[in-house]
Structure 1
Amino acid sequence: MGCRAARRLYKHLGRRGVFLLILGVGKTCWGISFLVDPPPTDGLQLLTSLCDIRHWSWLWIIAGLVTLGSAFLRVGRDQVGFVAALIPPSVWAIAYLAAVISGDYSRGGFVAIWYLTSHVGVIMWAATVPEYSVPPAPRRAQKAEGG
């Protein structure tokens, strides 16, 4: 019964929706972790100078919920989820780059590159992936059609 429901959900969501669902759950959980047990804020001085890390956790939580909710939208309307998913890692990358430039956190450059590649880059790539890719027709079929 559970497998049938999972197949049905996968069919409804499609590839892009599944990606957004996974991303949304992950971002929401990451944000909740900042509320439950705030991590050290090394390299995030730009953010924590504005407000506490627990307040910044809501950026992850809200973006995660928007991303998760967008998983259930039709292709084309799901773009809001991809945009929402980009915001938190972009903000974190900017904060870490600022920490490198100011000399507060030398490791921040590597963390920023990690956010920009494994988060921002992957999300931007996934946003361009079509829901269904149709392979080209075999050469024999193309010749028969062209006459």
Structure 2
Amino acid sequence: MNPPNVEGVQLLDWCGPRHWSWLWIICGLVTLASAFFRVGRDKIGFIAALIPPIVWATAYAAAAVSGTYSRGVFVAIWYLTSHVGIILWAATVPEHSVPHPRRARKGAGP
């Protein structure tokens, strides 16, 4: 039995793999940049990190439902659990910022 052809994933018909790889790259760069934002201001990074796996999970689920890629449901579940689930969990982990060092006052003794 031959494995199903990935051409069944209609998402690839909209753009080529080269264009979809740019989605991953741009979202990854936004996620990386938001890691340097202050605590509580990095929501954009989590949103950007969620976009590619949600797009691909949706594409594979749609291909499974349409019957063009029978194994798509398993790939969709994998994206939803290993990517989306982990990112959503990481977004709930409390963050703590390091306090800024206090400046010494002029003329104040020890």
The TM-score by the shorter chain falls in which range? 0.7 to 0.9
Cα distance in 1 between the residues matched to 2:31 and 2:91: 12
Structure 1 unmatched runs, 5+? 1-40, 133-147
- Find the counterpart in structure 2 of residue 46 from structure 1: 10
* 1:128 maps to 2:92: yes
Shift of residue 54, structure 1, vs aligned partner: 0.7
Cα distance in 2 between the residues matched to 1:66 and 1:86: 11
Cα distance in 2 between the residues matched to 1:92 and 1:48: 10
* 1:93 maps to 2:57: yes
- Find the counterpart in structure 2 of residue 59 from structure 1: 23
- Look at both structures and tell me which one has the larger radius of gyration over its CA atoms: 2
SS in 1 for 2:40: coil
- Find the counterpart in structure 2 of residue 139 from structure 1: none
* 1:111 maps to 2:67: no
Q: Which amino acid aligns with 2:22?
A: W
**Conserved in 2, the CA contact under 8 Å of 1:71 and 1:78?**
yes
Q: TM-score, normalised by structure 2?
A: 0.78
Q: Deviations over 1:10-51 (max 9, x none)?
A: xxxxxxxxxxxxxxxxxxxxxxxxxxxxxxx71662211111
Residues 82 and 43 from structure 1, CA distance in 2 versus in 1: closer, same or farther, beyond 3 angstroms?
farther
More helix by share: 1
Query: Alignment identity in percent?
Result: 71
Q: TM-score, normalised by structure 1?
A: 0.59
